[in-house]
Chain A
Amino acid sequence: MVEIVAQAVINGLLIGGIYALVSIGVTLIFGVVKIVNFAQGEFVMIGMYITFFLATQFGLDPLVSLFVCMPVLFVLGVLIQHFLIRRVLGLNDLPQIFLTFALSLLIVNIALMLLTANYRTVHTAYSDEAFHLGGLYVPVAKLIAFGVAMLLSALLWAFLRTTDLGKAMRAASQNREVAQLMGINPNRVFAVALGIALALAGAAGSLLMPFYPAYPMVGQVFVLMAFVAVVLGTLGNVVGALIASLLMGIAESLGIQFVGADSGLIVVFLLLLVTLAVRPSGLAGGHTR
């Protein structure tokens, strides 16, 4: 029994690292640009397909594709900020919610047209490898994904703490007007925030590919997880989103283990709804009615 629980916790923690990459992106955009990006999961999907094609066409290892995916998605993020999101800033909820929602629908359905709904997988040398720790089983591909996810999260944290641009982003998220008065160019800061958030989603895509199939709707799972994590971890809070993501990975995994294979999402959503009912401001206080 203890072993089953421990195994479920390990599985959940490892996938939680991937959720963290997506959630941190969502919370970064929300914190800095004050927009909820409904399309964040679709950038994971784009990252997965890029990784898939690099692997099948050029034999590139998914871990190497990371260095292609992240810059490509960074540029895509800057473009999306410049051509789409910039135009709805300062408007009311409707355009702010439904612009990225429309973008999400658009990307999914273009992918459906061009790539069909078929599952695509990449098999690497380490896809089936695993460490055995006592009776516990630690898949190598997931461990690598988790390690890289934590490394990227730490790098982002250091970037936000120590660099001028990072400090400018934190300042813009705390008070946009004052930041602007201090000479921070909001458009540049917003573009970098979008770029980083999408690059993280792209990284999640590459890291997933050795053990997770790509298909056009794959982003939905991750974006819903990310939304829950971002609410639980207090909106706009990077460390909160990280911790909440890991906890949710574990909650989902325990749900799958003890309630049933398709119950992971129920457990996570119930967690969200219960949290909203008892602590509407999230685990650390924040933006509510």
Chain B
Amino acid sequence: MPISRRGLLVGAVIAVMAVLPLAVKSSFALDIFIRILLFAFIGTAWNLLGGYAKQFSLGHSAFFGLGAYTSTLMQIDLGISPWIGMLAGGVAAMLASLPIGWICFRLRGPYFTIATIATAQVLMLIFLKLRDFAWGAEGTTIPNLGNAPLMMQFDGKVPYYYVVLVLLLVALAITAWIGHSRIGYYLLALGEDQDAAEAVGIDVPRVKRDIYMISAFLTAMAGTFYVQYIYFIDPNTAFNFSISIEAALVSIVGGVGTLLGPLIGTVLLETTSALLQSWLGNLAGVQVTVYSLILMAVILWRPTGIMGYLAELRARRR
């Protein structure tokens, strides 16, 4: 009974993640767990577009930044709670994904990737210029209200952990649902071969647009969470290219187009990064050097990622 065994496994993983903060009290460790869940969440959002539809974006920081700025502007200028801002940011990113997708989907393969990089860079440069509307290059600190759960601000790190855990579970649930729905099969088909998918009657542009909107919405929610967590926003934080890179990286290392790939990839990469940091301190370049070596190794030897490797092992055992 493969389905129930899989269900059991997923249940066990969720249970472990839910009780983890009860066992781990160190603020340093919690910070790493929050980072893992956050990037697993962003990676899961990226995976919908990159993993299933095989449209490899390196511009997801655009949506992360839009989410971060929307909620922060609403909070500081209008006093609206970031909980609402988070949804508003998602909507803003979703709307932004329409023109961005309209332009970028005109290109295929690597040139789609480049166009997404360009749009994210343009957005960052625009926010650097917006001095009157959005604090320009200096950015702003987000007013610390103490323990204000209604404003997404908490004492200690544990509540943040649960917020981002819920976000991740929602993204995983959406992915699981899409994987088994009609759009999931459309995505698989167009990921394999766009022309063939079109030939059998799939409305390829529409499917791409829809999945891009969902992916953008989720990524924007991560942006709101992140700036609430670090109490600071500037264009370089919110639109940082490294967010786009890590979103793709964790999914590829874990296994593109698989439900748990981004989570597993993030656990591996972030743990490696944390270990490196405790051994070598904050030496510039070390973390990404190791990341890129891992990425290269995966591409050359295991293009299906860790999940693909596990599936292979299982098949061999039978």
- A interface residue numbers (CB < 8 A to B): 35-36, 38, 84, 87-88, 91-99, 101-103, 105-106, 108-113, 116-117, 216, 224, 227-228, 231, 235, 260, 262-263, 265-266, 269-270, 272-273, 276-277, 280, 287-289
Q: Mark B107-140, 1 if CB is under 8 A from A, else 0.
A: 1111101110111011001101100000000000
Listed by A's residue number, 11 A-B pairs whose Cβ atoms lie within 8 Å are A84-B296, A98-B252, A101-B58, A101-B295, A102-B299, A105-B291, A105-B295, A106-B292, A224-B121, A227-B118, A269-B122
**A94–B256 contact, CB under 8 A?**
yes
Q: Is the CB of A97 within 8 A of B109?
A: yes
Interface residues of B in 77-115 (CB under 8 A from A): 102-111, 113-115
C-alpha spacing A289/B121, complex, angstroms: 23
By the criterion CB–CB under 8 Å, are A228 and B118 in contact? Answer: yes
Q: Is the CB of A109 within 8 A of B288?
A: yes
B289:A113 contact, CB within 8 angstroms: yes
The listed residue with most A CB atoms (<10 A of its CB), out of B58, B105, B106, is B106
Number of contact residues on B: which range applies? 35 or more
Asked whether, in the complex, the Cβ of A102 is within 8 Å of the Cβ of B107, the reply is: no
Q: Classify the secondary structure of A's interface with B.
A: helix
B contact residues around A96 at 8 Å (CB):
109-110
Give, as a whole number of angstroms, the nearest-CB distance from B272 to chain A.
14
Closest B residue by C-beta to A216: B285
Least Cβ–Cβ distance between B190 and chain A, in angstroms = 11
Q: Which residues of B contact A266 (CB under 8 A)?
A: 122, 125-126, 129
Answer whether residue B245 sits at the interface, using C-beta atoms and an 8 A cutoff.
yes
Across the interface, name the chain A residue whose C-beta is closest to B286: A113
Q: In the bound complex, how far is the Cα of B107 from the Cα of A88, in angstroms?
A: 21
CB < 8 Å neighbour of A263 from B56, B125, B288, B289: B125
CB pair A98–B295 under 8 Å, yes or no, is yes
Q: How far is the CA of A109 from the CA of B245 in the complex (A)?
A: 14
Contact among B103, B289, B293, B296 with A277 in the assembled complex (CB-CB below 8 Å): B103
- Which B residues touch A287, using CB under 8 A? 108, 111
B284 touches A260 (CB 8 A): no
